[in-house]
Amino acid sequence: MRLNEIAFTDAQPVDGYGPGFFRIAGQVLYGPILTGASGTAVWGGYDDAAPLLALAGQVDVLFIGTGGEMAHLPDELRGALEKAGIGVENMSSPAACRTYNVLLSEGRRVALAALPV
């Protein structure tokens, strides 16, 4: 089997996560996070739509991690993101982190907003 080193050019992958935290590029952040090509920041959760809407035109897909279990997004949030032209995929936070990392390694225009497990 041939192994290739993965280079992340525009954004930083999720290194790990645990109860209440995410580790991105070696930095531990507590609570919900938003990460992508524009950087990594603490996110205010479902009621904090502004930083997600600011991604319009910058990402093709926004992965939203809903915590330890898969959950539906609030209709108002999903509608606002779709109206802004942002593709939205919600899944459990562990699945969202893994999917974000894979697509990021392929050079795709993606971002991740996630609630901790």
Domains of the chain: 32-115 (3.40.1230.10)
* Structural tokens at position 64: 């939203």
Give the chain's radius of gyration (CA, Å): 13
Indicate the pTM of the whole model.
Answer: 0.91
Query: Tens-digit pLDDT profile for the chain (117 aa)?
Result: 655 555 555 689 999 999 999 999 899 999 999 999 999 999 999 999 999 999 999 999 999 999 999 999 999 999 999 999 999 999 999 999 999 999 999 999 999 999 999
How many CB atoms within 10 Å of residue 103? 16
Q: Would you say 65 and 93 are in contact if contact means Cβ atoms under 8 Å apart?
A: yes
